Every structure is written in C-alpha cells, then in structure tokens.
Chain A
Amino acid sequence: MNKKTIKFFDKIQNIDRRYIYIVVALAIIFPLLIPFNSPTYVTKPTEDIYKKIDSFSGDKSKAVLLSFTHDASTMPELFPMEVSVLRHCFERDIKVFTICWIPAAAPLVDYAINTAKEDFDVQSGIDYCNFGYKPYALRLPIMLGMGDDIAKAVETDSQGRKIENLEIMQDIKNYDDMNLVVDFAASGSAIQWITYARAKFGANIAAGVTAVMVADNYPYLQTGQLMGMFRGLKGAAEYEKLVDVFASYKSEDHPHGRPFSKEIIDQTRVAITGDAVPYKYKKARIGMNAQSVAHIMMIFFILIGNIGYFITRKKVGGKHV
C-alpha cells in the first residue's frame, strides 16, 4: 500500500467530529425537505395492532384506550403513530379514549386529537373522550380500577365532565369493553399495563415505543403479552400506510374503507410525493426517508473507520492501536 493511501486513512481516522455532524445534518435535512417515494414493508407487530383495532369497527360496545407516557422530546417518532391510530378510529367509527400520566403529555394529547379530528365529524364525549392528565402516583390505582369500573376509576375527563354521564360510556364499563390499550412511551411503561391490566383483567396491550426501546419490549411481544408493537418511526410509517390502504380507502364497493388483506398491502405502493396524502398523515414515511439515508451514511462511516483501523494497524505491525 502506498504512502499516500496510508496517509489518507491516517487523516480520516482522526477527522474532526464537526465534519461528521455536518454530513449527518445534510443526510437528514435533504430527505425531509425533498421527499421521495420508497417502499414501506408492513411487519407483523404493526399489522396485528391494525387488525385488532379494525375488528372494533362500528361496534359501540368496544373501545380503544391510548395511553401517553412521553413528552415532546420523542414526538417525532411517537406522534405519527398516535395521529395514525386516532385517524383509524375516526375513519372506522371506533370509540377511542386517551389518557396521559405526565403533565408535559397533556397538551400533546390535545394536539394529537386536534390534528386527527380536523377531517372528521367527531365529537368529544360521543366519539372520543380525553380522560386528561392523571398524576403518575395514581397510575396503579387507575389501571386496576378500570378493570372494575372505568367511570369510577377515572371520574372526570379533561374538561371536568363526569365520565359516567358521557354518551360514549354507554356499553363501556371496563377492560372487557375497552379491550385494547395502546401505550405510547419512550420507556418500558407498557410493562405496567401487562402486569396489572393484562394479567389481572385480560386486557389486550400494545405498545408504541421509540426505536431504542424496541429491544427491551421484545420479550413481551414474543410471549404474546404484547399483542402488537409499533417499533419506532418504522412502525409509525407502516401504520400510516395501513390506514391509507384500508381504513381511508374509498370506492363504490367500499364507501367506509376496505377490510385488511395481506396480498393488497404487500402489492400496494402509496406515493408520498404528491398531494394525495395530507402531510400530517405521511410524516413518518417522510421521516423514514431521512432515517434510511442516515443509516446508510452511518454504515458507511463505520466501514470507512474500520478500513482505516486495519490499514493503520498493519502499518504499526499488527498491534492494536
């Protein structure tokens, strides 16, 4: 190997980290500014959540609870999941409840509901209900209490109305009716739902977590204690596609969306470059473009770093440097 090559690798081994930062920034900013179409492959953990929620379509005796246990810092990954699930529920006339456990999540719940409900004729207290912020200290009593009587455990919604008087509560008493809890968190908070709501009352639990928390939740997914999981931004992108392809699909044969089909989802490509899909419903897929480029770039960095490492090591006689 000539001196020039060795010198080059020597140099890039000690490259100033600020250059790396610039490359990372560009790799993320450009795909966000200039979206392009890339395939979204739907995986089973996301598909299972979709199918479960979809099975409640039009059934007034079933409901979904969305639990928010995160703040604005993890919104880029979790918010598109929340909006997609709410959109799915509103599209398919499914009762949906929301609750949050940290004060910083309260405006986030409002923001998610307001973002999703703009396109639907839905009303608070009838089609959806925000239980609002409940202190974390009450998490356990409320989780357990909802197994007997939701109205008694939660008492009031975010607007101070008595839960038991709301129209949405007709035919909804406990986890037998509010049969799916989706916990959105940047931590392992779904475990509490599994321990109390699932183990004691048999509620179905799903989790929406940031990518770094995915590995932690895998044991529960494998045992079936989590019936599904949104795995970071990828999970959100997958759900966006599922809602686009099925729940939001409109035709003469299917005026209120069409049923799930593995064949259709595998074959369908949804374009995100035009105006066909509103920006708020394709945020995760645009984000996945940025993530794809960033991952490729990081792999490239790792490979270059290792090539440089081996060349430099060879130079110093095979010793570790």
Chain B
Amino acid sequence: MKRQIPLIIIMTLGFMFVAHSFIPHKISADFFDWFQDWVKAISPFAVSLGVISLFMVNGTKISRKVPNWQYSVITLAGLVFTALAGFIWGTQSGTPYMWLFENVQMPMSATMFALLAFYIASAAYKAFRARSAQATVLLLAAIIVMLGQVPLGAMISKWIPETSKWILNVPNLAAKRAIMIGVGLGMTATSLKILLGIERTYLGGGD
C-alpha cells in the first residue's frame, strides 16, 4: 500500500493534467481552479519545512561542534536577523531589511558571481589551446564572438559582429536545437514512464 497509493495519486492527477491541457471544457477548467487553491495552501508549508530543516541541520552542526560549525551560527543568525528586520520594520525602501539587502546581500552575491571572470580568464589562458582542428575552430569562434560582443569588434571591422551573429544564429542554433529536441523527447518518454508506473525510482528503492 505504501507504494500503491502514491502511484495511484500520481497516475490519476498526471492524466488529469494531460487531459486539462488538451480539453478546453468547464470540468477541466474547474479542476484547474481547484488545483490552484490547493497549491496556494500547500506552498507556505513548504517554506516552513525549509526553515525547520535549515534550523535542524545547522543546529545539529553547532551542538556537535563539527568542523567549521561557526558558519552555521552565521547562517542561522543571518536568517533570524533578516526575517526579524522584515517582520518588524517592513521591507520598503529605507528600512533595515532593505539596508541589509543593499549593503550585505547584493555586494556579496555579486562578488561571488564576479569570481567567474577570474576563473574563466585563467582557464582560457591555461587550457584554450589549438591542439586539433576542432579545438582551433572552437578557439576562432570564441575570439570572434568575444570581439563581436564589444564595440571594439565593430570598430575593427563590420564583419566581426556580423560573423559573430552568424556563429550564434547558424552553428550554435543547430546544435542547441538538436539538444533541445533530444531533451524534449527524453522528457516525454520519462514522463510517460512515470505516469504509467514503469519508472518508480522517485518513490525510493530500486524497482
């Protein structure tokens, strides 16, 4: 029963959603409205679950003094302080919550993302080599697209942005589209396997 009931729920709701997408009938629309209300009711519980889980995981780390437990203290302090700032003073401009966002979260997040530039530059220098014909094509394409992205490319020659556009519009597009079609077919096949109960690994266990 532990496996059969979830399977029945998934198959029933799954096929109802497939039907909803293809049958524009009142019953289908009413079912969708009913589903919307359920999703709205369930969503807050998911947030609560996340917060409880975060407290439990980090609380355990702190109480057991595992290596780097200090980071868990900062995580929990950040969560509590930011939430309190939002609840007490609101989230509008000029409040402590917005101050935290503008002066802590924003620069820290941007810094983490900006580190990518350093890694890419280093990797490009160390690994981007014309070792074979394919690697040479990749190298040339990268240089043209990089130049085409900045004003200097157009200043050198109007053909650089045009060639960059061609690379993105033709070879890139062909490869992307092939990948997307493959992914789409794979998703359809997996979805059907789940709906028909053939794929059951998401329930846990191996069969």
Could you tell me the distance in whole angstroms from the C-beta of B116 to the nearest C-beta in chain A? 9
Q: Are A111 and B98 in contact (CB under 8 A)?
A: yes
**Is B130 engaged at the interface, CB distance under 8 Å to the other chain?**
yes
Could you tell me the distance in whole angstroms from the C-beta of B100 to the nearest C-beta in chain A? 9
Contact residues in A for B114 (Cβ distance below 8 Å)? 76
Size class of the contact patch on chain B: 35 or more
Among A20, A107, A216, contact of B91 (Cβ-Cβ < 8 Å) = A107
A183 CA to B143 CA in the complex, in Å? 29
Could you tell me the distance in whole angstroms from the C-beta of A306 to the nearest C-beta in chain B? 6
A138 CA to B120 CA in the complex, in Å? 36
Among A15, A110, A306, contact of B93 (Cβ-Cβ < 8 Å) = A110
Interface stretch among B1-9, B65-73, B167-175, B196-204? B167-175
Q: Please report which residues of chain A, range 293-321, place their CB below 8 angstroms from some CB of chain B when the two chains form the complex.
A: 294-299, 301-302, 304-306, 309-310, 320
Q: Are B152 and A74 in contact (CB under 8 A)?
A: no
Q: Are A297 and B121 in contact (CB under 8 A)?
A: yes
Contact residues in B for A107 (Cβ distance below 8 Å)? 91, 97-98, 101-102, 105
**Is B40 engaged at the interface, CB distance under 8 Å to the other chain?**
yes
Could you tell me the distance in whole angstroms from the C-beta of B128 to the nearest C-beta in chain A? 5
Among A214, A304, A306, contact of B168 (Cβ-Cβ < 8 Å) = A214
**Is B81 engaged at the interface, CB distance under 8 Å to the other chain?**
no
Q: Are B125 and A218 in contact (CB under 8 A)?
A: no
Among A24, A215, A232, A306, contact of B172 (Cβ-Cβ < 8 Å) = A215
A179 CA to B125 CA in the complex, in Å? 46
Could you tell me the distance in whole angstroms from the C-beta of B154 to the nearest C-beta in chain A? 5
Knowing A75-B109, A301-B124, say if A111 contacts B117 (CB, 8 Å): no
Contact residues in B for A38 (Cβ distance below 8 Å)? 151-152
**Is B27 engaged at the interface, CB distance under 8 Å to the other chain?**
no
A39 CA to B158 CA in the complex, in Å? 13
Number of interface residues of A (CB under 8 A): 57
**Is A222 engaged at the interface, CB distance under 8 Å to the other chain?**
yes
Among B42, B154, B176, contact of A219 (Cβ-Cβ < 8 Å) = B176
Among A39, A76, A137, A306, contact of B151 (Cβ-Cβ < 8 Å) = A39
Q: Are A73 and B117 in contact (CB under 8 A)?
A: no
Contact residues in A for B130 (Cβ distance below 8 Å)? 306, 309-310
Using a CB–CB cutoff of 8 Å, the interface residues on chain B facing chain A are 32, 35-36, 39-40, 42-43, 46-47, 91-93, 97-98, 101-102, 105-106, 108-110, 112-114, 117-118, 120-122, 124-126, 128-131, 139, 142-143, 146-147, 149-152, 154-155, 161, 168-169, 172-173, 176-177, 180
Sample 22 A-B pairs with CB under 8 A, ordered by A number: A21-B121, A24-B121, A71-B109, A72-B108, A73-B109, A75-B109, A110-B98, A111-B98, A138-B43, A145-B36, A211-B149, A218-B172, A218-B173, A234-B149, A291-B149, A292-B152, A295-B149, A296-B152, A298-B121, A298-B125, A301-B121, A305-B125
State the 3 A-B residue pairs at the shortest beta-carbon distance, nearest first.
A73-B109, A72-B109, A292-B150
